[in-house]
Amino acid sequence: MTASRLANRLALALVVLIGWASAARAQAIDAQDSEGLRGGWYPWDPYQYLDYGPRVPILTGFDIEIERAIARRLGVQITLPQVAWTEQLAALARGSADIAAGATRTELREDFAYFSKPYRTETDVLVVRAGASEGLPFRTIADMLNTFVKRPFRVGVIWGYVYADPAVNAFIASPANRQLIVPVGNDAQNLENLLAGVIDGFLADHVAATTTAWRRGEGGMIEEHPLRFSTDIHLMLSRKTQTAETLSRLNAAIDDLKRSGEYERIAQVYVLPVLINQTIDQDWFRALGVIGIVAFAVSSVLLAHEGKYTLFGALLFASLPAVGGGVVRDLVLQRYPIAVVRDPSLLLIALATVLVGMLVVRAATALQAASRERYVGAYSALISRAIEVCDAIGLAAFTVTGVVVAMAAGVHPIWLWGPICAVLTSAFGGVLRDLFRHDRVMANLRGELYAEIAAVWGLGFTLFL
């Protein structure tokens, strides 16, 4: 065999080999597309969590829904088993997983993963026990880290998590600070350690920490230090199973997600309610609810007095507008447990108001009778005016609470459900009360505007928020 023929055969073999490799690569990509993307999740509310509704638990969250929306745009399925964050990173590195959400970009991770364009930002905070921030006057990250060393200050962190500032990450990784760092698997464990005194504070994503405390009903036991530091958050694709072309398509899907408005809708469902629920846990919001309950209870006492109802009748009259509208609202929104069940003190406030109100009204009636009825007309006018004023106060207070609860529930579109919940909370209890009136007068459905006022102001407040 001549050298030239040998060279030709070698060249032909090389061409065949290259063609076979290209075909194999194409088949692998096709198979991968048909199988979909392999991801994972770990408890990180509101980004990734199980929603324990009235039926079976459902995997959901901001990051989860973003991944699903992107997968739909890519035309592939995505599988999301529960996997610890550190294991997700290891799986991406070895190629047994394709995608992960909620990632901070680092040089080390870029060795084994592609990073998408940012799809959200993260703001990290130091979470401490309520009242402890006053003793931590630092305003910069450098001062915060120096304070950790000088105190010493035991800091809870999530193992394998990259925080929003490189100096913080370097501090956590330094062997010199090992005695100060308490690593755990998630924010819930950090919160437990903080309240148990195991740590003095923990670093966390602001939204995730707020959500964890709110879900556990421990929001009033902690607070966030004013210092904040932020960074961009990305999706990661495994370099072993994905290509730069897939990354380009994924980035285009993120752009389309934001352009279409779906991104904003997802944020309204999973992020906005958490921030609104911070408001619900505030003292001023609870005070607003108490004002509404007391106002409606007082107006009901006066109506019961006019109709000569018994004490039980007065109690029934008061409970319907005071808490009945909220019960109906929570049932419509499937908001469990219902507010009055979760916090029975709301009903007790209404009942106490009735008891005190009945005593006051009976005393006033006795005084009026003793005055030989010289002021009967003025007394009746005063009662009527007091009913109107109390109903107006209750209507205003419950219009605000109805809108806020609707936003906290994450219902969509909020411009529709905000006014509906305002009407249900403020006016529907009054409708129920009118059904039990002896004269069958549906005051909330006839005569002057009532529920309409709640609807109009509810819409205005919703649009303002």
Residues 257 and 293 in one domain: no
Confidence of residue 35 (pLDDT cuts 50, 70, 90): low
Task: Judge whether 12 lies within some domain.
Answer: no
Q: How far is CA 373 from CA 159, 186, 301, 338, in A?
A: 78, 71, 22, 46
Give me the number of domains the chain comprises: 3
Residues 127 and 216 in one domain: yes
Task: Judge whether 35 lies within some domain.
Answer: yes
Give the C-alpha separation, 215 to 111, whole Å: 37
| H-helix or E-strand spanning residue 270 | helix 262-270
20-56 exposure pattern, b = at least 16 Cβ within 10 A, e = fewer: eeeeeeeeeeeebeeebbbbbbbbbbbbbbeeeeeee
Q: At what angle do helices 187-196 and 206-215 cross, to 10 degrees?
A: 70
Residues 295 and 369 in one domain: yes
Residue 218's SS3 state is: coil
Least confident of 27-31, 187-191, 212-216: 27-31
Task: Judge whether 5 lies within some domain.
Answer: no
Report pLDDT for 32: 45
Dihedral sign (CA 120, 121, 123, 124): positive
Residues 313 and 398 in one domain: yes
The two structure tokens encoding residue 382: 């005063």
Confidence of residue 52 (pLDDT cuts 50, 70, 90): confident
DSSP string, 109-131: HHTTEEEPPP-EEEEEEEEEETT
Q: Is 159 exposed, middle or buried (0-12, 13-18, 19+ CB in 10 A)?
A: middle
Give the C-alpha separation, 162 to 110, whole Å: 13
Question: What residue type is 47 in one-letter code?
Answer: Y
Of the candidates 244, 271, 298, which is a domain's last residue? 271
Give the C-alpha separation, 400 to 279, whole Å: 12
Nearest to 254 by CA among 123, 99, 108, 85: 99
Q: First and final CA of the chain: distance in angstroms?
A: 85
Task: Judge whether 153 lies within some domain.
Answer: yes
| H-helix or E-strand spanning residue 188 | helix 187-196
**Higher-scoring residue by pLDDT: 354, 377:** 354
> Tens of pLDDT along 435-452?
776 666 665 566 566 778
Q: Is the pLDDT of residue 31 over 60?
A: no
Give the C-alpha separation, 243 to 250, whole Å: 11
**Higher-scoring residue by pLDDT: 439, 186:** 186
Beta strands in 220-341 (DSSP E): 222-224, 229-238
Task: Judge whether 1 lies within some domain.
Answer: no
User: What does the pLDDT average to over 114-126?
Assistant: 97
| H-helix or E-strand spanning residue 157 | strand 155-158
**Pairing between strand 201-205 and 120-129?**
antiparallel
Give the C-alpha separation, 270 to 49, whole Å: 11
Residues 305 and 445 in one domain: yes
Report pLDDT for 465: 64
Contact predicate 461/430, CB 8 Å: no
> Tens of pLDDT along 254-282?
999 999 999 988 988 887 777 676 666 66
Report pLDDT for 103: 95
CATH number where 263 lies: 3.40.190.10
Q: What angle do CA 27, 33, 35 make, to 5 degrees?
A: 100
Give the C-alpha separation, 99 to 78, whole Å: 9
Residues 126 and 110 in one domain: no
Report pLDDT for 202: 98
Report pLDDT for 200: 97
Residues 248 and 312 in one domain: no
Give the distance, in angstroms, between the CA of residue 112 and the centroid of all CA atoms in the same chain.
33
- How confident is the prediction for the chain on average, in pLDDT? 83
Least confident of 8-12, 84-88, 345-349, 407-411: 8-12
Q: Is the pLDDT of residue 33 over 60?
A: no
Peptide bond before residue 46 is cis, with ω within 30 degrees of 0: yes
> Tens of pLDDT along 367-409?
666 555 555 555 566 666 776 777 788 888 888 888 888 877 7
pLDDT > 90 fraction of the chain, expressed in percent and rounded: 42
Residue 50's SS3 state is: strand
User: What does the pLDDT average to over 108-136?
Assistant: 95
Q: Is the pLDDT of residue 305 over 80?
A: no
Residues 287 and 326 in one domain: yes
Task: Judge whether 144 lies within some domain.
Answer: yes
> Tens of pLDDT along 65-89?
999 999 999 999 999 999 999 899 9
Give the distance, in angstroms, between the CA of residue 359 and the centroid of all CA atoms in the same chain.
43
Residues 291 and 189 in one domain: no
Q: Is the pLDDT of residue 283 over 80?
A: no
Enclosing domain of residue 402? 282-464
Contact predicate 409/335, CB 8 Å: yes
Q: Is the pLDDT of residue 13 over 70?
A: no
Residues 305 and 431 in one domain: yes
Nearest to 215 by CA among 51, 14, 67: 51
Report pLDDT for 2: 54
- Residues sharing a CB contact under 8 Å with residue 205, sequence separation 6 or more, in sequence order: 122, 123, 124, 187
This prediction has a pTM of 0.65
Report pLDDT for 190: 96
Give the C-alpha separation, 269 to 271, whole Å: 6
Residues 265 and 338 in one domain: no
Give bridge partners of residue 127 from the DSSP assignment.
Answer: 202, 224
Report pLDDT for 441: 62
pLDDT > 70 fraction of the chain, expressed in percent and rounded: 83
Q: Is the pLDDT of residue 140 over 50?
A: yes
Task: Judge whether 2 lies within some domain.
Answer: no
> Tens of pLDDT along 200-254?
999 999 999 988 888 787 888 999 999 999 999 999 999 999 999 999 999 999 9
Instruction: Please tell me which of 148-152, 326-330, 388-392 the model is most confident about, judged by mean pLDDT.
Output: 148-152
Report pLDDT for 6: 45
Give the C-alpha separation, 40 to 99, whole Å: 8
Report pLDDT for 292: 84
Residues 414 and 348 in one domain: yes
- Cα Rg of the chain (Å, integer): 31
Task: Judge whether 8 lies within some domain.
Answer: no
Give the C-alpha separation, 94 to 238, whole Å: 8
The two structure tokens encoding residue 256: 């389309």
Report pLDDT for 3: 47
